[in-house]
Structure 1
Amino acid sequence: MKILITGAGGFVGQLLAEHLLNDKHQVILVDIFEPPVPQKASNKQNATTIKADLAQDASSVLSKDLDALYVFHGIMSAGSEENFDLGYRVNLHSTLNLLEAVRQVCPGVRWIYASSTAIFGQPLPAMPSEATVPTPQSSYGTQKMMIEAAINDYTRRGFINGFTLRFPTISVRPGKPTQAASSWMSGIIREPLQGKESVLPCDDDFECWLCSPRTLVRNLVHTLTLQRECMPTHVRQIMLPGITANVAQMMQALKDVGGDQAVSLVKREKASPEIKAMLDSWPIRFDISKALGLGYVADGSFKDAVEDFAASLKE
């Protein structure tokens, strides 16, 4: 297949590109800077890298023979809250530009969009699902919600074959901290296991909805196999499976894998009122029966994700 990834220089884009290249797909990596080809990928000759501003010219990255797009580009949650104009330009307007360019250049293509549980806000039922009305409490969630609606409409009209995947927080992410309000959910594992300090802004009873990188990639690739008819054309949202873990359980997993020395590197610090309000608004349990019925999978435990990351450091 010929597959394009926007935001391909980011963690998820690089992880997926490596997997797709290893499976011998042709992969086009697009970002605001020229994205690298993943170092560990085989079949690097199948990769094309493009530097592009999708808010200015989205059609230049497309071709008529494209089979699928993974749309990952964006300004993350805390960054969108801090810079209102930039968040709307990147998360909303550039994605609408890309949708319209696809309609003109390669109509009917499979469109796989990275949305977020940030589209929800309080109050919520005990187990939100795809049927729960989104009431976001952040600009980031609002931008994601608006793109979700556009994907539904473009799919209903036959312009794309759209799939909206609402991601849990991905942990443990390698690399550097991000502008996401949830960045600490990886940081309290990633940095201490590398001998570095990390900040923890939440109490032990704070709960998170999480997914490991390995399970995320498996579910992203699975989306390539779904038939258009698996959902109504005007309802394309899927809650990707996650697991719920509280801070105390996350710290115990860190201790089990990294010992007391790793735990001592986690420093407690209060979040700002704005970030705390955003974190507290996110739900931490979901009805994922729709996703499971479509063949998606969930992690076993958070400790598995910590062990995966520790093993990657040894590699």
Structure 2
Amino acid sequence: MKIAITGAGGFVGQLLAEHLLNADHEVLLIDIFEPPVPSKASSKSSLATCIKADLFSDSNSVIPSDLDAIYIFHGIMSAGSEADFDLGYRVNLHSTLNLLETLRNKCKGVKVVYASSTAIYGQPLPQWPSESTLPTPSSSYGTQKSMIEYAINDFSRRGYINGFTLRFPTISVRPGKPTQAASSWMSGMFREPLQGLPSSLPCADDFEAWLCSPRILVQNLLHVLTLQRDSLPSHMRQINLPGITASVKEMLEALETVGGRQAVDLVKREQPTREIKDMLDSWPIRFDVTKAMDLGFKRDEQFVDAVRDFKDSLDE
């Protein structure tokens, strides 16, 4: 298949590109800077095309007409969208709408996999929100994601694209540098201490979060390629990806299990800003994922496995 990834220079884009290239797909890696070919897929670099582009203005010139599928990952993350209102709307909303318009005109029927977020939800919520729960986002990021969800539903209903919207849990443990996500600390509290570096923790022990490991995420991203158009109603293309709920206390216990007490001692408590605290507190922590499980998506068994996965990657 010929598959494009936007935001391909980011962690999720690189992880997915690695697996797609090693499965012998032709992959277009697109980002605001020229993204690299993943190092673990360097032997398949002939199948990769790396493209620097601003999708707000350049989507028509970089999207080929023979595309089979596209993963839309580019965006300004949650805290970044709150900090810069104009940039968040330009990247998360308007550039994605421009991209969808290009796909409608050049690649009718193309499979579109859109990375949405549980940030589309806001309080008050039922105990187990599902895809039928009304989104009431309490952040610019969640609002922008919700708007694109509705556009993908409409484009799919009209037959312009074959859209699948995946609402991601928080992905932990992410390697690399901290991001502008309000949830960045949920990876940082493992990533830095397991490398002997200090990290910050802005929440109390009883704070809970909805999490997914990178290993399970990439399995689910690849699984979407196997789904048929009629696996979802034409006007309701959202899927809440499976996750696992863990408290800060359980996260710290997982860190101690994998890294020892010396790793836990590197985690330093701090007070979040009011804006970040309100955003974190508005996110739901448990979901009804019946739809995803019925469609064959996978879930983590226990959170400590995600911490072990990251520690093993360091050892490699």
Q: How does 1:177-192 map to 2 (within 5 A)?
A: 177-192=178-193
Note the 1:213-292 alignment, pairs <5 A.
213-292=214-293
Letter of the structure 2 residue corresponding to residue 310 of structure 1: K
Runs of at least 4 residues off by over 6 Å: none
SS at match of 1:15: helix
- The Cα shift of 1:138 comes to 0.1
State the alpha-carbon separation in 1 of the partners of residues 38 and 115 from structure 2: 20
Give distance in 1, aligned partners of 2:151 and 2:58: 19
TM-score, normalised by the number of residues in structure 1: 1.00
Alpha-carbon offset, residue 17 of structure 1 = 0.2
**Aligned residues with identical type, % of pairs:** 72
Structure 1 Cα separation of the partners of residues 49 and 61 of structure 2? 13
Residue 37 (1) aligns with residue 53 (2): no
Shift of 1:103: 0.7
Output the aligned Cα RMSD.
0.4
CA distance in 2, matches of 1:276, 1:64: 44
Q: Find the counterpart in structure 2 of residue 84 from structure 1.
A: 85
2:161 — aligned with what? Answer: 160
Shift of 1:73: 0.1
1:116-141 per-residue CA deviation (whole Å, 9 max, x = no partner) reads: 00000000000000000000000000
1:181 and 1:153 map into 2 onto residues whose CA distance is 30
Task: Look up the match of 1:197.
Answer: 198
Instruction: Tell me how far apart the structure 1 counterparts of residues 219 and 62 of structure 2 sit (CA, whole Å).
Output: 26
Q: Does 1:6 align with 2:28?
A: no
Shift of 1:60: 1.3
TM-fit CA distance, 1:65: 1.1
Match of 1:109 in 2: 110
Q: Which amino acid aligns with 2:307?
A: V
Q: Which amino acid aligns with 1:38?
A: P
CA distance in 2, matches of 1:45, 1:63: 17
Which SS does the other structure have where 1:69 is aligned?
A: strand
1:209 equivalent in structure 2: 210
1:57 Cα shift?
1.7
Residue matched to 2:130:
129
SS of structure 2 residue aligned to 1:129: coil
Q: In structure 1, what is the equivalent of residue 49 of structure 2?
A: 48
Q: What is the CA distance between 1:44 and its match in structure 2?
A: 1.4
Count the aligned residue pairs: 315
Q: Could you list the runs of 5+ residues in structure 1 that have no partner in the other structure?
A: none
Q: Secondary structure at the match of 1:58?
A: helix
Superposition deviation, residue 33 in structure 1: 0.3
Instruction: Tell me which residue corresponds to 2:24.
Output: 24
Q: Distance in 1 between matches of 2:234 and 2:60?
A: 24
Structure 2, unpaired ranges of 5+: none
Q: What amino acid is aligned across from residue 107 of structure 2 in structure 1?
A: C
Q: Could you report, residue by residue, the CA deviation over 1:87-133 in whole angstroms, capped at 9, with x for unpaired residues?
A: 00000000000000011111110000000000000000000000000
Post-superposition shift, 1:304?
A: 0.2
Query: Once the two structures are superposed, what CA deviation does each residue of 1:191-230 show, in whole Å capped at 9, x if it has no partner?
Result: 0000000000000000000000000000000000000000
Cα distance in 2 for partners of 1:64, 1:51 equals 18
Q: Secondary structure at the match of 1:27?
A: strand
The secondary structure found in structure 2 opposite 1:222 is helix
